[in-house]
Chains A and B, each alone.
Chain A
Amino acid sequence: MAYHENLYLLVFLPLILIVYQVFPKKLRPYVLLVFSCLFFLANSKWIIVPILLTVLIWLAGMRIEKIRLDAEQKLPELDKAGKKELKAETEKRTHRIMIIGNLIILGILFYAQYLHFTVDNVNRVFSVFGIDLALKVGKTFFPIGISFYSLEAIGYLIDVYWNKVQADHNPFRLGLFILFFPQVMEGPIASYKDTAAQLWSGEGLKVDNISAGLFRILLGLFKKMMVADRLARVVGCVYNNYTDMYGFMVILGAVSYTIQLYMEFSGSIDIVIGSAEMLGIKLPENFRQPFMAQNAADFWRRWHISLGTWFRTYLFYAVSMSKSVKAINKKLRKSRGKYAAMVGTSAMALLPVWLATGLWHGPSWTYIFYGFYYFCILLAETAIQPYMEKLEDRLQITAKTPWYAALNIVRTWIVIFTGELFFRAKTMRQALVLFKHIFTGSFFPERGVWTILTDQKAILLEKADYLAILGGIIVIVIIDICREKDLKLREKILQGPIALRWSVYYLLIIALLVFGAYGSGFQAVELIYAGF
C-alpha cells in the first residue's frame, strides 16, 4: 500500500483521521502508532527491524543519560584534576555507546541492503586472480524504508550524544518517531527534534489543517498522475532498448527521467507532507524548486533536502571538524595558503559524504558512480569559485544578472541530466552505452522522433498523453516559479474566500479524474524512492 494508491488515499487515510479524532487526546499517539504498524505490515512483514532499532536507540539513549547524571552527581565532590578526569571518562563512555549503537544500526542496514552486493563483488575480485571463492549468502530480508528510518535512528543517537536532545524515556514515542506511517516509506528523513513532540501531542483535527493537507495531496497526485507515470513509458523505452538508441532519444530519455523523478518523488513527498498536515503535524520540506538552482551545490540544497541535511550534519561536519582533518587543514594553510587548504579540506570531507550518498540509494555501481560524479562536480565548483568571482567582477556581472543567472541554471541542468542518466541505469554498462550514443552514431532516428514517441507499440502513449504531460509540466513550473518568488500562492488560496478555494480544489480534482493516468488495469509506476 503506497501513498498514491486508492487503498491509502480513499480507505486508510480517511479511516485513520476518523479513528484519531474519536479517541481521547491521551490515546491519540497510540492510535497513530498502531496505524503506523499496520501500514508497515501492509507493505512488509519485517516490522521487527524498526522495532528493534527503536528498542536499541531507546536503551542507548537512556544509558548515555544515566552515565551523565551519575557523573554530575559525583562532580561536586571532586577536585579540579578529578573533575577533568571524570569528564573525560564520561565522554569516553558515552562516545562508546553511541558508536556501538550506530554500528549495530549500520550492521543491520548493511545486512539488508549491501550483503549480496559485497559478496558478489568479492567473488568477482577473486575470480580476476583465478580464485573461485564462490561465497554465497542466503536470502536476506528487505524491510521497506530501512534506508530512511536507519538514518533517523542514527541521527537521534548522535543528537543525544551531542546533547542536542534529551534522551527519550518513552519507547512508544521513539517508535512513532521511527515508524510514523507517512514518512516510513520514503522520508522526509526527520530529526527527533523536528517531529517527536508534535507526533505525541495528540492535538485534535482542524478543518484548516485538513483542507491544507488535502490541497497538498492533490498537488502531489497531479504531479504523479499527469506527468510522472506517463513519462515513465518514454524513459522505459529508451532504457530497455539501450543498445539500439539515437543520441537525441538518449538525451530525451535522460531529461524525461529527471522530470519523472522530480514529479514522482516530490509528488509523493507532497502526499506525505499533506497526510501529516491533515493530522496537524508539520514535516520538514524535501524540495525547494531544484531546477532553479544556480550550481550543483545549490541543487543539492534544493533536492532531497532532508537527505542532504542529514549527511551534512552527521557526516560532512563530523569529518571536516575531526582532529585529523583540522590538522591537515592547518598544515596546508601554512604551507600552501588558504585556497589550497579550503580545496583540500573540502575534498577530504566531500568524498566520504558523496560515496555514502551514492551508496545510500542502493547496492549498485551506478549509484556509487552517481555519488562520485557529484563529488567531482562539487569539488570542481569549490575550486573554481574564487576564479569565477574574479571573472564576474571583471565583467561586472553578479549572480543576479538575468542572462548570467539563466546561463547558470541551464548549465546546472546539464549537470543534473547527466547525473540522472547514470542514476537510472541498471548497470554501468547500460549507462555507458547510452552515454556513448549521444556522441556516436546517428543523432536523430530516421523514422522521426515524433513517430517513435507516438508509436503505440514502442511507448504505449498517445498524442493526447503528450498534451497532458506538457500541460502538467506547465502548471508545476508556474507553481514553482511562484514559490521561488515567494508569492505565497498556497497561503493566498488557503486563506482566500471559500469560493476561490473550492474552485481550485475542484479544478485540480477534475484535472486528475479526467486527464490523469489511471484506470482499470493501468499499472501505476511503483514509488521509486520506496525501493531505496
Chain B
Amino acid sequence: MSGRRGIDPVVRKETLRVGAIAYVGIALMLLVFFLLHTFCPKEVWDVPFDYTVVLGGVCCGIIDILNFFLMGLAVVKVTSLEPVTDEEGNPSDEDKSKARRIMSTSMRLRFLFMIVWCILAIVLPCFNPIAGILPLLFPTFGIKVLGLAKKSAD
C-alpha cells in the first residue's frame, strides 16, 4: 500500500480508467435514450428521458466505480500477503486458501451491494430501472473493447 491516502497506485489508475469507461458508456446510453425519446413515436415505444434516467445512470456509474475499487482493494490485500514459500518459490496451500477466501468474501459482499442497488433502482420511482442497471455491464464491455483495440494495434 503506497501512494496518496494509502491507496495503491495501480488500483487508483485502473479505477480512474474504469470510471472513465463507465461514464463514457453512460453518456452514450443517455444519448440513445434522448434519440429514442425524440424520434421514436410514442404509440410504438414510449421511451422516457427525464431526471430519473440521468439519476439512474449517474448513480449506477458510482456503483460501478465503487465495485471496481473495492475489488481492487481486495486484490491488493491478497497480493500484499507475505507468502510462505518453499524452495521453488511456491506459496503454501494455506496462503492460497487465504487468498481464495479473501476474494470470495469480497465478491460476496460486492454482489450483495449490487443486489441492494438493483432492487433500489427497480423499486424507487426516482430511478429509471434500465438506466440504473444497464451501466453495471459497461466497465467489462469497455475493458474488452480496449483490450481488443490494444491487441489489434500490436
Q: Do A and B come from one complex?
A: no
Instruction: Give the interface of B toward A (CB within 8 A).
Output: none
Instruction: Give the interface of A toward B (CB within 8 A).
Output: none
